[in-house]
């Protein structure tokens, strides 16, 4: 594998899909600091098959409410229902972590005719709504690497719930990155770091800077034997774009002064 040897930071790889808007903080940061940012997802989501779901022995129609923690959970729930020819009752109640997730339901149901509740942005925001309907039997569509926050919250609320793994995160094929002429790699999840080594078992960091977002990702970086150079969020750098900008400015200035 070819490793970047440029002293100045000129090229950054972000292991996420490209932002939909050109006005994203990453684009602004790249223009201001004369660097190039490429976006390339390191992981992809695969849905479980209807055959695999049947093996869980979960009866969707035994449940009276569904808790959605993401838009992907919505997509894969209704996909499974379609594949298994299940008609979701009109009386089903929907609890969503945020307004945007709730509005996404319009893709599959007549929104105004359903009982829908949503929080501000986190599972904890749903506590009041869920406890008002604590006698419901909840179904929670999740991925294979779901957060333990789900267990803690639901056990605390003392509600009846069933978790159903409907999709999983797998490593994407990164063979197109074989040249690897990047000065910085940005990771957002432990699964992305796993994907790096799945694709490049002999990866050596050398002069490449590693950036991570979140505590669990930072831990995964060090556990993989990599050097963590840039971390977010921090009080002075609440976003990854701001953390990158702060590091690039300082690094490139120091290189220039030598």
Reference 6, options 179, 183, 177; nearest CA is 183
DSSP label at residue 22: T
DSSP 3-state of 224: coil
Phi, psi of 62 (to 5 degrees): -80, -10
Contacts of 30 (CB under 8 A, 6+ apart): 12, 36, 37
List, in sequence order, the alpha helices (H) in the chain. Answer: 25-33, 50-55, 71-83, 99-104, 127-131, 149-157, 190-199, 215-223, 240-257
Kindly give the confidence (pLDDT) of every residue in the chain, 258 residues in length, as a single tens digit, with 9 standing for 90 and above.
444 445 899 999 999 999 887 788 999 999 999 999 999 999 999 999 999 999 999 999 999 999 999 999 999 999 999 999 999 999 999 999 999 999 999 999 998 889 999 999 888 899 999 999 999 999 999 998 776 667 888 889 999 999 999 999 999 999 999 778 999 999 999 999 999 999 999 999 999 999 999 998 999 999 999 999 999 999 999 999 999 999 999 999 888 765
Q: What is the structure's pLDDT at 258?
A: 58
As a residue count, the chain comes to 258
DSSP label at residue 67: E
Q: What is the structure's pLDDT at 4?
A: 45
What is the C-alpha separation between 153 and 76, in angstroms, rounded?
A: 23
Q: Which CATH number fits domain 11-42+173-257: 3.90.550.10, 3.40.50.10090, 3.40.710.10, 3.40.640.10?
A: 3.40.50.10090
What is the C-alpha separation between 59 and 65, in angstroms, rounded?
A: 13
Token digits of residue 253: 């200035």
| Domain extent listing, the chain | 11-42+173-257, 46-169
Single pTM value for the model: 0.74
Q: What is the structure's pLDDT at 154?
A: 86
106 contacts 74 by C-beta, under 8 angstroms: no
Residue for token pair 């910085």: 184
**46-169: which CATH architecture?**
3-Layer(aba) Sandwich (3.40)
How many Cα atoms occupy the beta-carbon half-sphere of 137 within 13 Å? 8
Q: What is the structure's pLDDT at 3?
A: 45
Q: What is the structure's pLDDT at 147?
A: 60
Phi, psi of 76 (to 5 degrees): -75, -25
What is the C-alpha separation between 210 and 221, in angstroms, rounded?
A: 8
């Amino acid at each position: 594998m070819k490793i970047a040897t440029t002293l100045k930071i000129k090229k950054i790889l972000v292991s996420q899909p490209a932002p939909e808007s050109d006005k994203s903080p990453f684009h602004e940061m790249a223009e201001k600091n004369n660097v190039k940012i490429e976006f390339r997802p390191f992981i992809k989501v695969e849905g479980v098959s209807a055959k695999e779901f049947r093996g869980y022995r979960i009866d969707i129609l035994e449940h009276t409410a569904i808790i959605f923690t993401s838009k992907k959970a919505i997509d894969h729930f209704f996909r499974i229902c379609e594949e298994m020819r299940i008609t979701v009752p009109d009386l089903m109640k929907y609890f969503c972590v945020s307004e945007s997730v709730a509005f996404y339901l319009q893709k599959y149901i007549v929104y105004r005719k359903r009982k829908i509740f949503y929080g501000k942005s986190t599972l904890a925001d749903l506590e009041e709504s869920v406890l008002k309907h604590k006698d419901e039997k909840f179904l929670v569509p999740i991925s294979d690497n779901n957060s333990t926050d789900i267990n803690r919250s639901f056990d605390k609320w003392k509600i009846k719930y069933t978790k159903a793994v409907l999709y999983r995160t797998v490593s994407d094929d990164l063979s197109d990155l074989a040249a690897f002429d990047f000065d910085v790699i940005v990771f957002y999840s432990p699964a992305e770091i796993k994907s790096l080594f799945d694709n490049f078992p002999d990866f050596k960091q050398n002069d490449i800077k590693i950036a991570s977002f979140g505590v669990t990702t930072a831990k995964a970086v060090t556990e993989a034997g990599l050097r963590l150079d840039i971390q977010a969020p921090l009080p002075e750098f609440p976003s990854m774009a701001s953390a990158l900008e702060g590091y690039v400015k300082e690094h490139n200035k120091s290189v220039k002064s030598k």
